[in-house]
A = this chain, B = another copy of it.
Amino acid sequence: MNISALLTSAGINIGLCVVLFMLYSLLRKQPSNFSVYFGRRFAHACPKRDSLWFERFVPSPSWIVKAWETSEEEILSFGGLDAVVFIRILVFSLRVFSIAAFVCMFLVLPANYHGKEMHHKQFPYESLEVFTIANVQQGSKWLGAHCLALYIISCSAWLLLYFEYRSIATMRLAHIKTSASAMNPSHFTVLVRSIPWSAEESYSHSVEKFFSNYHLLTYLGHQMVYRSGTVQKLMGDAEMMCRMMRSENLAINCKQNLFNRGLCGGSSKAFRMLSISKGPESVKGKSIYGDLDTSTREEVAAAFVFFKTRYAAVIASQVLQSSNPMLWVTDLAPEPRDVYWSNLCIPFKQLWIRKIATILAAIVFMFLFIIPVTFVQGLTQLDQLHHTFPFLRGLLKKKFMSQLVTGYLPSVVLMLFLYAVPPTMMLFSAVEGSISRSERKKSASRKVLFFMIWNVFFVNVLSGSVISQLNVISSPKDIPAQLARAVPTQASFFMTYIFTSGWASLSSEVMQPFALLWNLIRRFILRKKGDLYDEPLSFPYHIEVPRVLLFGLLGFTFSILAPLMLPFLLAYFLIAFLVYRNQIINVYSANYETGGRLWPTVHNTTIFSLVLMQIIALGVFGLKRSPVASGFTIPLIICSLLFNEYCRKRFYPIFKTSAAQMLIDLDRQDEQSGKMEEIHKKLRSAYCQFSSNVNDLSKSGHSDQSDNGESIQDSEDGKPGEDSNRVNEPLALQRHMESTEPNEK
């Protein structure tokens, strides 16, 4: 591939991007597409439609200006801390690759170009290889420039990484404080799993007994988890019975009872009454569903336990509860909207084996994927293509076609295959048993990341046969030399990959073609109106984070080998910065979040990329017979690893758990301001397992359609007043039902 082919490819893609962005700026102004392009705002309030008639048909860059001008605070309020962290990845990449681009353009590129005494062709016909390190002679003194560039890039990466980690840790602490002032119920709640089974008493009684015995002063109450399928069936049965009774008074009572008994909400009033009736010392068993007959509803060995203070909840989640570590397993509960209810029913003893099984399955999937990738890689060798498909020979002889096929087609095919990966990994993560949706997304994101790094980077670099790749892993000693030989030759492939997978994915992200098409079909063929989605989409971190990190990896590894790649990469990061900000402002909504827990993964991956860059450089300096440069590279690798270790010690614990100091301060603040009482009341109705689709209540709160289709009622942001309205009715009935079911207590 030569410069002109590269420019053809870049030109096609730039053209495509510009056209698509202009199209987007038009489409977003059409009111019929508001639900596609303003999903987040649409959910909360309709965007203003005050534009003039003719303006609707003139493309404008206003969205770019808007995305650029939005401040970090706004991003935080729109998309949560995770969105800010995601934008920080892009900012970090922009900064570090600006430095790298500057250094490499003025230091490395001239060294590469003049690396060998040769007759240079006319510029457009110059092969790309002339600009890579492959053009530098063995033992050349120019290699010192590469080594210097390596040092500058590594040092600036360390510094920037350190400051990013520090600022994100600070942000996380601030975020916890803010969410505390918004009375986050998850701070007070612990998820207990693997409650020991006993023949004499129900799980609910065991929980009550255990926690009121061992956490006497701080235990507030608990809520059992029920097997999903069974209850919903019972709900239907009960409702039918209610209808049969016909008497309006009775029917109301019945409904109320169902509610108060475990299906949702439980009004704060009702609970206050229950707890008062139990006696003045409000410590003993306030199980919301505690006094249920176990034969009617199937309890699972898991429960949410509420504590009086945040500190108590953290203690209960961190200290080993029982002498048998497989019983009474406690974790801090996820936020109500974040709970992945169906996984709470999985017996705890299965989890470790599920985890191992899914990891193995993901690895197998990762290796099987090699087959289509190897085929794609074959396309870049035009001769092979001629050989395999002789009928194409005429077509491929045309210059433009051959440039298109070698420079463009392979990465398009690869990209199409890659679309199937994130959903598969999400499935694996769901099977794994994550207790929260954010956890599942984080786990999927890590799996996709491994997958991408292996299948896009390593497999393409080390291509050839499937077996030869496995050989490479099995001889770690030769890895630097192997990589040093293979990586520079793949520079042109990865440049086109940046065009196709990078730029094109960004324009597809902003265009949302599937949503647009679906919206059109709904409007004009199915003739439905109303919202496109039941809830605004949440940001697909498991797709976007691995992609951005993969481009970071490409940037680091190719920076000193093929510096020509850096300007294209910088363009990618700049567009990504604008596009994703726009999407966070307009499209995606923060339904649930990890609170910046993404960052340690990002940090570790960046360190991996850095070390990989240094190892490849070591290999290259070895191949080029430059012992001095090799010698200078080894301390860099050691420093990178030490730096990582230091950051792990210094910052990582903040992302795992909260500090006693902060929690106690927060608790005291709330106690002094008298907010604690309110929080305790709210707590009991915070977690609700079943959406109330049997009656009409679901319309009072907006229901929360999770990614995999199961629906969870959202009761988090309902105000207390709403709450009590919602469940006030069923109260009388409950008392009625209690009188009809004897011997329950």
Interface residues of A (CB under 8 A from B): 173, 214, 314-315, 318-326, 328, 352-353, 356, 471, 474-478, 642, 645-646, 649-654, 657-662, 664
Q: In the assembled complex, which residues on chain B have CB atoms less than 8 Å from the CB atom of A321?
A: 659-661
B315 touches A319 (CB 8 A): yes
Q: In the assembled complex, which residues on chain B have CB atoms less than 8 Å from the CB atom of A662?
A: 323
CB of A198 to closest CB in B, whole Å = 15
Q: How far is B654's CA from A353's CA once the two chains are assembled, in angstroms? A: 20
Q: In the assembled complex, which residues on chain B have CB atoms less than 8 Å from the CB atom of A326?
A: 649-650
B325 touches A661 (CB 8 A): no
A-B residue pairs in contact (CB < 8 Å), sample of 15: A315-B315, A315-B319, A318-B319, A320-B654, A320-B659, A321-B661, A322-B660, A323-B661, A323-B662, A325-B651, A325-B652, A325-B653, A352-B645, A352-B646, A471-B477
Partner of A475 from B323, B475, B642, B649 at Cβ < 8 Å: B475
Q: In the assembled complex, which residues on chain B have CB atoms less than 8 Å from the CB atom of A478?
A: 474
Q: How far is B214's CA from A646's CA once the two chains are assembled, in angstroms? A: 28
Q: In the assembled complex, which residues on chain B have CB atoms less than 8 Å from the CB atom of A353?
A: 642
Q: How far is B327's CA from A659's CA once the two chains are assembled, in angstroms? A: 11
B322 touches A659 (CB 8 A): yes
B314 touches A319 (CB 8 A): yes
Identify the 9 closest CB pairs spanning chains A and B, nearest first: A474-B477, A325-B653, A323-B659, A320-B659, A475-B475, A319-B660, A321-B660, A320-B657, A315-B315
Q: In the assembled complex, which residues on chain B have CB atoms less than 8 Å from the CB atom of A173?
A: 323
Q: How far is B325's CA from A652's CA once the two chains are assembled, in angstroms? A: 8
Q: In the assembled complex, which residues on chain B have CB atoms less than 8 Å from the CB atom of A661?
A: 214, 321-323, 328
B654 touches A356 (CB 8 A): no
A214 touches B318 (CB 8 A): no
B642 touches A320 (CB 8 A): no
B325 touches A649 (CB 8 A): yes
Question: Closest B-chain residue to A646, C-beta based?
Answer: B352
Q: How far is B352's CA from A646's CA once the two chains are assembled, in angstroms? A: 8
Q: How far is B213's CA from A662's CA once the two chains are assembled, in angstroms? A: 12
Q: In the assembled complex, which residues on chain B have CB atoms less than 8 Å from the CB atom of A320?
A: 653-654, 657-660
Kindly name the residue among A324, A646, A651, A658 whose own CB sees the greatest number of chain B CB atoms within 10 A. A324
A325 touches B660 (CB 8 A): no
CB of A404 to closest CB in B, whole Å = 40
Question: Closest B-chain residue to A653, C-beta based?
Answer: B325
Q: In the assembled complex, which residues on chain B have CB atoms less than 8 Å from the CB atom of A314?
A: 319
Q: How far is B324's CA from A326's CA once the two chains are assembled, in angstroms? A: 31
Given known A-B contacts A645-B356, A659-B320, A660-B320, A325 and B650 have beta carbons under 8 A apart: yes
Q: How far is B315's CA from A356's CA once the two chains are assembled, in angstroms? A: 31
Q: How far is B326's CA from A352's CA once the two chains are assembled, in angstroms? A: 31
Question: Closest B-chain residue to A360, C-beta based?
Answer: B638
Beyond A319-B657, A320-B654, 18 extra complex contacts between A and B, CB < 8 Å: A214-B664, A318-B319, A319-B659, A319-B660, A320-B657, A320-B658, A320-B659, A322-B661, A323-B662, A325-B649, A325-B659, A326-B649, A471-B477, A474-B475, A474-B476, A474-B477, A474-B478, A475-B475
CB of A557 to closest CB in B, whole Å = 23
CB of A649 to closest CB in B, whole Å = 5
Q: In the assembled complex, which residues on chain B have CB atoms less than 8 Å from the CB atom of A476?
A: 474, 476
B642 touches A356 (CB 8 A): yes
Q: In the assembled complex, which residues on chain B have CB atoms less than 8 Å from the CB atom of A324?
A: 650
CB of A597 to closest CB in B, whole Å = 15
Question: Closest B-chain residue to A474, C-beta based?
Answer: B477
Q: In the assembled complex, which residues on chain B have CB atoms less than 8 Å from the CB atom of A651?
A: 325
Q: In the assembled complex, which residues on chain B have CB atoms less than 8 Å from the CB atom of A352?
A: 645-646, 649
A325 touches B654 (CB 8 A): yes
